[in-house]
């Protein structure tokens, strides 16, 4: 057992080392290098099968977060940029994000994100007052909204390969696409409320029969219409879908809701009274059972001996490519009883150190069973078991906080950024630490960097008129200047807004710069595009705002527009009105960036808008 005790210590180091960068606060903890840990394990267990097992499992420890920071592009930030409509016109998932997207789509993270969106949609629908004339309808997209094509995309690179119309249509014609359970829950709720569902899909008319069959086979029934794209249609998706929605309105229907996985599903007038954007980082991919997809491979190896049920369950739950499953199943089949126990313990640590890994290595109940089993089998090694238990809350704390009781905080944040969550007053109380981790660490900066990278690339590609009339609108708070020093001492948005305390902070004129926004600002100046500040701050704060901006290195802007004292309208009305004045004065708004949707909604928005992350507060 002494050898086992030493090995457990090594496992704990591996887990801690693999997750030392997980916390959003980027704590500076020095850990042994991965190579040193591997060499130590090899020396201690030269004759034990457990060593290769540990090596094979190491990529799982914190895999979601590690994959989110792979070379080339921060994949988690890329996904957020897609969902918040900052990343547009992309053809494929970045090649180095294939595994990350697979982790996200095949696990509980995608389901959690979808559940939060549908929860909002259901709450909205239940609050509607219907006219009683049977004319209220709700528009549903089909692919990646009502039916899932994940079985197809799981075999075709999770969106990392170019779209192949031939092979995809072959899959569609099988009529085997599974239902998205969260969307189906919304569908059934609407039918029970008397709201008529309408399917509006980009599939062609020649696929009407198989689409109808697939929908009915998956439990959908009672819809009003199934609208498919006419053969030979040459326009854009937005043009087609908005045109079909207009026909519904012209026929006397009221579109009370509209849900889809693509922005093209919900943009273009008439959008509907309320829109909802389901997550989809691969353009076309959906939820499918992990267990069904992998059981054949696992069952191809006979696993016998102690802990059989636990080992088999873990193998089915672990997030690996199929070829790795084969190697791992073979290794476990040949492993000694001790090696199987080590496998269980490593998986237990991995489950606690997922750093937000979307694959949710083990359910909480399973983790408790494994922990109890380990305690019984290792009575003389209780100190080691206790050490692992103590480490679990520390390993991947940001990811754990994202799944705290009450609300999945990471999914809540995505709903905020994708404009599914609206009119909220405070951050959920149980998400205070999660938001603090996010805002104070590298994650927030990475997400902002991806947005600004898109904005800079867009600006560099513009062809200017040469008349000096191109302008770019900037919000100030949480866009140009950061109020994080204030919010860090006021609950990270979990406490109700205190105008007096916040104004006192603003009047100090000490708000630091947001470096990514400043990078964009300076790039625009160099290109000859004039920045315009448009803020919800009031005119009585002009002097301190100018002073704060200049002290943080901003200069050369065209105008600083502040809200008139006593203005009673909405933020959208105020800001769109000020932008209209710019247009009336002959300026061309080539870009518009802010942290709130109210900064970038309302005509004229500008030729292109960019939404910076901000889970601290909502302005409608």
CA dist 166 and 14 (Å) reads 45
CA dist 410 and 434 (Å) reads 8
- What's the pLDDT score for residue 395? 25
- Look at residue 42 and tell me whether its pLDDT is greater than 50: no
Contact of 547 with 520, CB cutoff 8 Å: no
pLDDT class of 345 with cuts at 50, 70, 90: low
- What's the pLDDT score for residue 339? 56
Helix 308-317 to helix 364-377 angle (10° resolution) is: 140
Average the pLDDT over 249-263 and give the result.
Answer: 98
- Look at residue 40 and tell me whether its pLDDT is greater than 80: no
DSSP code at position 226: E
pLDDT over 70, % of the chain:
68
- Look at residue 277 and tell me whether its pLDDT is greater than 90: yes
Strands 588-594 and 470-474: what pairing?
parallel
Please state which of the ranges 198-202, 294-298, 412-416 shows the lowest mean pLDDT: 294-298
pLDDT, the chain, mean? 78
Average the pLDDT over 389-412 and give the result.
Answer: 50
**Tokens at residue 463, please?**
């062809």
- What's the pLDDT score for residue 337? 56
pLDDT class of 389 with cuts at 50, 70, 90: very low
- Look at residue 297 and tell me whether its pLDDT is greater than 70: no
pLDDT class of 407 with cuts at 50, 70, 90: confident
Assigned fold of 92-277: Rossmann fold (3.40.50)
pLDDT class of 466 with cuts at 50, 70, 90: very high
Average the pLDDT over 410-414 and give the result.
Answer: 97
- Look at residue 17 and tell me whether its pLDDT is greater than 60: no
CA dist 95 and 531 (Å) reads 35
Assigned fold of 423-611: Rossmann fold (3.40.50)
Count of beta carbons in the 10 Å neighbourhood of residue 302: 7
pLDDT class of 289 with cuts at 50, 70, 90: very low
pTM: 0.72
- What's the pLDDT score for residue 209? 97
Angle at 359 between CA 76 and CA 492, to 5 degrees: 50
**Model confidence pLDDT, tens digit, residues 316-333:** 445 444 344 444 544 555
- What's the pLDDT score for residue 322? 39
Angle at 287 between CA 230 and CA 347, to 5 degrees: 160
User: Could you tell me the residue ranges of all domains in the chain?
Assistant: 2-61+310-393, 92-277, 423-611
**Tokens at residue 42, please?**
């090899």
Of the candidates 608, 573, 602, 571, the one whose C-alpha atom is nearest the C-alpha of residue 589 is: 608
- Look at residue 372 and tell me whether its pLDDT is greater than 90: no
Average the pLDDT over 592-600 and give the result.
Answer: 98
CA dist 14 and 22 (Å) reads 13
Average the pLDDT over 203-218 and give the result.
Answer: 97
- What's the pLDDT score for residue 61? 26
**Model confidence pLDDT, tens digit, residues 506-523:** 999 999 999 999 999 999
- Look at residue 423 and tell me whether its pLDDT is greater than 90: yes
177 or 375: which leads in pLDDT: 177
**Model confidence pLDDT, tens digit, residues 65-80:** 444 544 456 899 999 9
pLDDT class of 202 with cuts at 50, 70, 90: very high
**Tokens at residue 124, please?**
């909205």
CA dist 316 and 330 (Å) reads 14
Helix/strand/coil for 288? coil
Average the pLDDT over 174-194 and give the result.
Answer: 97
Q: What is the dihedral of CA 86, 91, 92, 94, to 10 degrees?
A: -50
Highest mean pLDDT among 39-48, 202-211, 357-366, 396-405: 202-211
**Tokens at residue 319, please?**
């997030």
- What's the pLDDT score for residue 119? 98
CA dist 72 and 89 (Å) reads 19
Question: Which residue in the block uniquely carries the two structure tokens 């094979």?
Answer: 56
- What's the pLDDT score for residue 508? 98
DSSP 85-128: T-S-S--S--GGGHHHHHHHHHSHHHHHHHHHHHHHHHHHHHT-
- Look at residue 479 and tell me whether its pLDDT is greater than 80: yes
144 or 40: which leads in pLDDT: 144
Cα torsion 105, 106, 109, 110: sign = positive
How would you list the strands of the sheet with 275-277, edge to edge? Answer: 225-229, 196-204, 136-140, 254-260, 275-277
Task: Evaluate whether 92-277 and 423-611 have a shared fold.
Answer: yes
Average the pLDDT over 415-438 and give the result.
Answer: 96
Average the pLDDT over 593-604 and give the result.
Answer: 98
Average the pLDDT over 594-618 and give the result.
Answer: 98
- Look at residue 294 and tell me whether its pLDDT is greater than 60: no
- Look at residue 495 and tell me whether its pLDDT is greater than 50: yes
**Model confidence pLDDT, tens digit, residues 440-463:** 988 999 999 999 999 999 999 999
């Amino acid at each position: 057992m002494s050898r086992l005790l030493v090995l457990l210590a090594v496992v704990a180091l591996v887990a801690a080392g693999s997750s030392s960068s997980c916390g959003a606060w980027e704590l500076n903890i020095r850990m042994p290098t991965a190579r040193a840990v591997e060499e130590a394990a090899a020396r201690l267990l030269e004759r034990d099968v457990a060593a290769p097992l540990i090596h094979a499992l190491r990529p799982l420890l914190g895999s979601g977060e590690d994959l989110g920071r792979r070379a080339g592009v921060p994949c988690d930030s890329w996904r957020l940029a897609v969902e918040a409509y900052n990343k547009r016109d992309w053809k494929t998932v970045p090649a180095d994000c294939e595994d990350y997207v697979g982790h996200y789509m095949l696990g509980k993270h995608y389901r959690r994100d979808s559940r939060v969106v549908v929860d909002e949609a259901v709450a909205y629908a239940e609050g509607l007052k219907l006219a009683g004339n049977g004319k209220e309808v709700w528009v549903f997209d089909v692919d990646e909204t009502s039916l899932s094509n994940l079985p197809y995309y799981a075999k075709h690179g999770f969106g990392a390969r170019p779209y192949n119309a031939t092979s995809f249509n072959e899959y569609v014609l099988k009529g085997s696409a599974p239902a998205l359970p969260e969307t189906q829950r919304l569908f059934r709720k609407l039918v029970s409320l008397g709201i008529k569902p309408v399917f509006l899909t980009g599939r062609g008319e020649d696929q009407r029969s198989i689409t109808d069959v697939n929908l009915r086979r998956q439990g959908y029934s009672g819809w009003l219409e199934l609208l498919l794209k006419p053969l030979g249609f040459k326009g854009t998706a937005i043009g087609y879908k908005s045109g079909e929605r207009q026909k519904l309105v012209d026929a006397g229907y009221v579109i009370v809701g509209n849900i889809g996985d693509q922005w093209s599903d919900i943009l273009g007038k008439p959008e509907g009274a309320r829109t909802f954007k389901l997550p989809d980082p691969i353009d076309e991919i959906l939820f499918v059972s992990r267990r069904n997809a992998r059981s054949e491979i696992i069952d191809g190896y006979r696993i016998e001996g102690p802990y059989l049920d636990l080992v088999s369950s873990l193998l089915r739950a672990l997030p690996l490519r199929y070829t790795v499953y084969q190697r791992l199943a073979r290794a476990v089949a040949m492993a000694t009883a001790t090696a199987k126990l080590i496998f269980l313990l490593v998986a237990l640590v991995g489950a606690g150190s997922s750093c937000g890994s979307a694959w949710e290595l083990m359910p909480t109940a399973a983790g408790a069973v494994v922990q109890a089993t380990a305690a019984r089998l290792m009575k003389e090694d209780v100190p080691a078991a206790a050490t692992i238990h103590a480490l679990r809350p520390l390993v991947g704390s940001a990811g754990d906080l994202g799944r705290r009781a009450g609300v999945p905080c990471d999914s809540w944040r995505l709903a905020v950024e994708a404009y599914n969550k609206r009119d909220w007053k405070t951050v959920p109380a149980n998400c205070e630490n999660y938001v603090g981790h996010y805002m104070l660490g590298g994650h927030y900066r990475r997400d902002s960097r991806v947005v600004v990278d898109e904005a800079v690339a867009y600006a560099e590609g513009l062809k200017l008129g040469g008349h000096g009339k191109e302008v770019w609108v900037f919000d100030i708070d949480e866009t140009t200047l950061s109020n994080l020093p204030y919010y860090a001492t006021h609950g990270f948005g979990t406490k109700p807004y205190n105008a007096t305390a916040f104004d006192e902070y603003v009047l100090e004129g000490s708000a630091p710069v947001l470096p990514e926004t400043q990078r964009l600002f300076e790039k625009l100046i160099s290109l000859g595009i004039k920045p315009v500040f448009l803020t919800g701050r009031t005119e009585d704060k002009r002097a301190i705002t100018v002073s704060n901006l200049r002290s943080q290195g901003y200069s050369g802007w065209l105008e600083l527009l502040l809200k008139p004292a006593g203005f009673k309208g909405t933020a959208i009305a105020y800001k769109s009105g000020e932008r209209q004045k710019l247009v009336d004065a002959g300026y061309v708004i080539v870009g518009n960036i802010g942290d709130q949707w109210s900064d970038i909604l309302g005509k004229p928005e500008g030729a292109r808008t960019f939404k910076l992350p901000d889970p601290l507060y909502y302005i409608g």
